[in-house]
Amino acid sequence: MEKVGRLAEPVARYFFRELIKGIKQCHRNHVAHRDIKPENLIITEYFNVKLIDFGTAKFIEDSIGDGFHTDKVGTESYMAPEVHLKQPYRGESADLFAAAVILFSMVSGHYPFEKATQFDKNYRCIAQKRPDIFWKSHCQNKAEGFYSENLKDLITQML
């Protein structure tokens, strides 16, 4: 994304589906990646997306005994809020949260927020169930319909 900038929504949708396939495969094998970010994705010559760098990955069951993890790992911009808060979290949910941040970034060319904490005004809108304000903030200086309603709904639900 650094080299090409933002992607048109149909192109981002394709790569996002590829990313979700990889995440689904990890979760099917009971592995949570826990550091999903663009730098940990490669695109093959056939435009398949592959997850790499499993240095922070853990077996989903390899946690505190109930499927939850407690260690703070990952990259701050992609971390789920419960990871920032050092609360027990499900690795699968943290992976999907990071995927939502990536999808937003692919389409918009920038992050949806700096960090998913109460101190970030954009994330606070999501946490307070005010996605209308979140999207209004991100739609400033963009053409009408820049973000499709389906895209906004998907990202909002995942965050």
How far does the chain reach from its first CA to its final CA, in angstroms? 21
Say whether 153 is catalytic: no
Task: Indicate which residue of 35, 66, 120, 132 is catalytic.
Answer: 35
Number of other residues whose CB lies within 10 A of the CB of residue 1: 15
- Look up residue 43 and give its DSSP letter: E
Helix, strand, coil shares of the chain as percentages rounded to 5?
45, 10, 45
**Can you tell me the distance from the alpha carbon of 128 to that of 123, in angstroms, rounded to the nearest whole number?**
9
Question: Strand pairing partners for 89?
Answer: 69
Q: Give catalytic residue positions.
A: 35
